Amino acid sequence: MAAKAARKPKTNTEAYLRMYRQMARIRTFEDNANQLYLSAKMPGLTHMYSGQEAVAVGICEALKDSDYITSTHRGHGHCVAKGADFKEMFCELLGKEEGYCRGKGGSMHIADQSHGNLGANAIVGGSTGIATGAAFSAKYLKTGSVAVCFFGDGATAQGLLYEAMNMAALWKLPVIYACENNGYSEYTRTEEIAAGSLTARAEAFGIEAFKVDGQDVLAVNELARALVARCRKGEGPFFVELETYRHHGHHVGDINRTYYRSREEEEDWKRNRDPIVNFGKWLTAQKIVTAAELAAIDSEVKADAEAAVNYALEARYPDADQVTRHVYMEAT
């Protein structure tokens, strides 16, 4: 079932500007993370979310702090969209004591439970069971919370997803399976690894499934708000395929990509389908905000990120005696 946003003037200015700011924050965070990697200041790899911002923001704007999300190895965008702070995030990337996971999680394992983020996961499809379990606990405890499970199209080849969806359908759990189809499973086109329709896979379990333009934050948010409300009424689970695109390679070291996708394809998506640029154009066309006001938001976000990076670079590393803390049960 395809979903489209109603293209008419809106009046909820505060929400629109918040969504624009959140998308700008994700893009700016990723730009800075990329520079930290290229300058050899950040250990390990990271996987850029740039280009997919409308998915995380459109969905998380429909959630409360008490709602849950699970993320992927490409998880910075979800973390920011769910309310994370730049300072703690950059500290985490740099392995510093003040990071969300005290520097032990790094880029691919950030969790922020104060905002319902149960964590990024380096295992493809690995968080589907966690999100389904969170939804089960919400139903069992009657908290009214909803869980959203973000995963990529490559995760549709993992058996855990289908075990989880089967249980969710049987128990009518308040969970939304959000499949970010960015066209590639690492370096392979989605159609070369996924037979048939992705939404049909969920429908096989009796799960209502939707497809939406993942570059349109209003379309994503409109659908997310409707499905979250239905989950709270006990009508879940749901499955959503969000068509999107990553601007960078699979990870920051994936620079020479022409052997699996063309420069022309990348430039077309960046020039014509950028979710932030297009939402900004819509906001100005509807006279909700001026171009100068959007530029001011962009400048403020970039200044916040620069300050957070500088803070994280100077922050303390954990003491050596913390290496097994929160890993093993503390002796009593």
- 8 Å CB contact between 90 and 311: yes
**pLDDT tens-digit map of 156-189:** 999 999 999 999 999 999 999 999 999 999 988 9
Residue 34 sits at φ, ψ, to 5 deg, of: -65, -45
Q: What is the dihedral of CA 63, 64, 70, 76, to 10 degrees?
A: 80
Report residue 34's pLDDT band, with 50, 70 and 90 as the boundaries. very high
Q: Which pLDDT does position 210 carry in this prediction? A: 98
Residue among 116, 112, 115 at smallest CA distance from 138: 116
Tokens of 247: 């601007």
pLDDT tens track for 208-223:
999 999 999 999 999 9
Confidence of residue 321 (pLDDT cuts 50, 70, 90): confident
What's the rounded mean pLDDT across residues 259-279?
96
How many Å apart are CA 92 and CA 100, to the nearest integer? 6
Residue with more model confidence, 277 or 255: 277
Mean per-residue pLDDT of the chain: 94
Mean pLDDT, residues 114-127 taken together: 94
Report yes or no: 226 and 6 within 8 Å, Cβ to Cβ. no
- Residue-level length of the chain: 332
- Residue pair 25/31 in contact (Cβ under 8 Å)? The answer is no
Pairing of strands 188-189, 184-185: antiparallel
Query: Residue ranges of the domains in the chain?
Result: 1-108+125-150+162-173+231-315
CA gyration radius for the chain?
19
Q: Which of 105, 95, 81 is nearest to 30 (CA)?
A: 81
Is 1-108+125-150+162-173+231-315 assigned to CATH 3.40.50.970? yes
* pLDDT above 90: percentage of residues in the chain: 83
Give the pLDDT confidence score for residue 254 in this predicted structure. Answer: 87
Indicate whether 4 pLDDT > 60: no
Name the amino acid, one letter, at 144: G
Q: Beta partners for 178? A: 150, 240
Residue among 72, 49, 74, 63 at smallest CA distance from 220: 63
Q: What's the pTM value of the predicted model, to 2 decimals?
A: 0.93
Picking from 174, 209, 184, the residue whose alpha carbon sits closest to that of residue 124 is 184
pLDDT in tens, 66-107: 999 999 999 999 999 999 999 999 999 999 999 999 988 888
Residue 5 has pLDDT above 80, yes or no: no
Can you tell me which residue has the tokens 């052997």?
259
pLDDT band at 253 (very low <50, low <70, confident <90, very high): confident
